[in-house]
Amino acid sequence: MQRRNRRDAPPGSWRPILESNLPVVGKLTEEHQRQLFKHIKDFLAHKRFEGCGGLAVTEEIQVTIAAQACMLLLGRKTRTYPKLKTILVYPHTYQGGRKGLFGGDNGADARLGESWAVGVVVLAWDSVLGGARNFEDGHNVAFHEFAHQLDQEDGATDGAPILEERSAYSAWARVFSHEYKDLVDKTRKGRKSTMDRYGATNPAEFFAVATETFFEKPQQLKTKHPELYEELQYYYKVDPIQWT
């Protein structure tokens, strides 16, 4: 047992990074931490990081991004983003040059992140770091873009990721369709919602925004949108309320 624990333990340099940048990791159960570190190791071993806009990629950047990406995998029987190959990291908000991409940005050109169906995620480091350290505002660009990667695993970016059972798709479609239409209606009327109005863009963005809200504002989401919370909990196999 001790031998296995040593093998599964993360490098000593990871802990100060996570304690500073993603303190919620310290609230996970021992089993979830073990799963997380295992996924991070696999992520870092098989994904390529590239700095853009003059950014030098450091261990801090790699571990902080990988940890957030892998939090979406806890409790699930899944590989570590099998289609993802490259993470492009800019120092801050950047100008997008491709069209037809699903990203967590709020402007036509200035972007915080993107997820490409060809196995690439693009992120702005300052936004990643801010989202990781502020784990209660419902905004997390890393969760957003890696949720798109999960959505894209079946070849379509439509807000319906691969579910464990075929019978689960009916309830998923019913709940997500209703909740998406509700957010669109609230957005048009200028009414507030637990979820960011960017989720009203299309069903794919709704899934990504719902994921951010599920992990960062779980109690609010469960209280105001119990069926949506139940569907997300079924998919992600965790209850983030336990971490708050």
Mean pLDDT for the stretch of residues 99-109: 45
% of the chain with per-residue pLDDT over 70? 91
What pLDDT, on the 0 to 100 scale, is given for residue 147?
97
Which phi-psi region, left, alpha or beta, contains residue 93 (left: φ > 0; alpha: ψ -120 to 50)? beta
Q: Using 50, 70 and 90 to split pLDDT, how confident is the model at 136?
A: confident
**pLDDT exceeds 60 at position 107:** no
Average pLDDT over the chain reads: 91
**pLDDT exceeds 90 at position 8:** no
**pLDDT exceeds 60 at position 98:** no
pLDDT digits (tens, 9 = 90+) for 196-212: 999 999 999 999 999 99
What pLDDT, on the 0 to 100 scale, is given for residue 117?
85
pTM over 0.85: yes
pLDDT digits (tens, 9 = 90+) for 60-96: 999 999 999 999 999 998 999 999 999 999 999 887 6
Mean pLDDT for the stretch of residues 156-171: 94
What pLDDT, on the 0 to 100 scale, is given for residue 44?
97
What pLDDT, on the 0 to 100 scale, is given for residue 118?
86
What CA–CA distance (Å, rounded) separates 114 from 96? 9
The larger pLDDT score, comparing residue 199 to residue 104, is at 199
User: How far apart, in Å, do the first and last CA atoms of the chain sit?
Assistant: 30
Q: Using 50, 70 and 90 to split pLDDT, how confident is the model at 104?
A: very low
Cβ–Cβ under 8 Å, residues 57 and 49: yes
CATH topology classification for 2-134: Cyclin A; domain 1 (1.10.472)
pLDDT digits (tens, 9 = 90+) for 144-161: 999 999 999 999 899 999
What pLDDT, on the 0 to 100 scale, is given for residue 102?
41
